[in-house]
Amino acid sequence: MKRAPSLIIVPCVLIVAFLLTLLPMPGWTVWLRPAWVLMVLIYWTMNLPYRMNVGFAWFIGILLDVLTGTLLGEHAIALSIVIYLVVRWDSRLRMFLMLQQALCVMLLVFLYQFILFCVQGFIGQLPKSPLYWACSFTSMIVWPWIWMMLENMRRRFRVV
């Protein structure tokens, strides 16, 4: 296949992640939704660290805030902090086995949720269910498939 510039592939994958985030779900499963946008950002930051950075994560976070109707900057600050850690540790994360990567993703999603929890606590809108933290575990379970799918796409279209 011809080489596809990351200017086309990365935004398309992010649009799919946004759509999966906005997809309506039954009330009892809403807490089990993986952090699609964060996982896609983690993957692209690990594999394209010179193109994906904290500023890009901030912009995606602002878009996520606008699309979900949350406090402006809430997701932006959480994504920026998590992506900063991924940029800082990208060479280590890439060397890990898949199980270790999945555990790291779980911890990063947990940190992301904790930051959102703190911001929501400041504005008086704390989640009422302890299932709020389940997203970390579902993201850990889904990570290997996300990684394999995006890795195949990256190699097939030669995204560099």
**How high is the pLDDT of residue 30?**
86
**Buried b or exposed e, range 79-89, using 16+ CB within 10 angstroms:** bbbbbebbbee
How many angstroms separate the Cα of 67 from the Cα of each of 42, 44, 76, 150, 160? 20, 21, 12, 23, 29
| pLDDT at res. 128 | 85
Instruction: Give residue 130's pLDDT.
Output: 87
pLDDT of residue 142: 98
- Residue spans of the domains in the chain: they are 6-156
pTM for this prediction: 0.94
The dihedrals phi and psi of 36, each to the nearest 5 degrees, come to -60, -50
pLDDT of residue 2: 58
Task: Spell out the per-residue pLDDT of the chain, length 160, in tens.
Answer: 556 566 799 999 999 999 999 999 888 888 899 999 999 999 999 999 888 899 999 999 999 999 999 999 999 999 999 999 999 998 899 999 999 999 999 999 999 999 999 999 999 999 888 899 999 999 999 999 999 999 999 999 888 8
Say what the pLDDT of residue 137 is: 97
Q: How many CB atoms lie within 10 A of CB 29?
A: 11
For residue 4, the model assigns a pLDDT of: 59
Res 28: pLDDT: 80
